[in-house]
Chain A
């Protein structure tokens, strides 16, 4: 994690920021995960990181930001590619709405 953070500080690579966000999610630091996902996804107008929106929704939900989480799950249901994650996002949205 420290090496990823150091590398991001040097090159500001979005892929590294996403890796850091996913690692924080695995380590169950949801607030930090949300912050790192948000750093990339809030500016991802071209939807390059569409598949990451589901995990961003999970991080938001577990950080207690349920309205924002529901919006991310909705986006994933409408535009995501993985049918399993879409089904999972629908389950998540059902409970959040």
Chain B
């Protein structure tokens, strides 16, 4: 790290999981998430000189979101998940509560992936990337009030999608 500016490798090693997490929740599958992360890291590499020390994760969230939105605009989406999950996570585990929890997570993920992009992006930035409304507004170049209403509408759509699930509410 020089003058508070990390190297590209440091960004990838230290913040790669954050980047991947946001990318996966935006894209909804591993294939696209990998593409997003690789493209985002390329942009990080090119843009590091312009990075001003501050919220690195906010900056990364903004970059990966822009990559995602560019991708949506180009409509070059690839087929869904072709990779297995981390085997560490799919090994048989004993308590049934885990299975139930995992099932719920998948339903939430499915509902999130089904949200229209305009609602999914602010919800992911808020609840996965932990960004403030002001940061989201800056990242998406939309007014603060629009951020608020899109997050709210996104959550209501999620609620509608999940309400039928037994025990969710």
Query: Are A and B part of the same complex?
Result: no
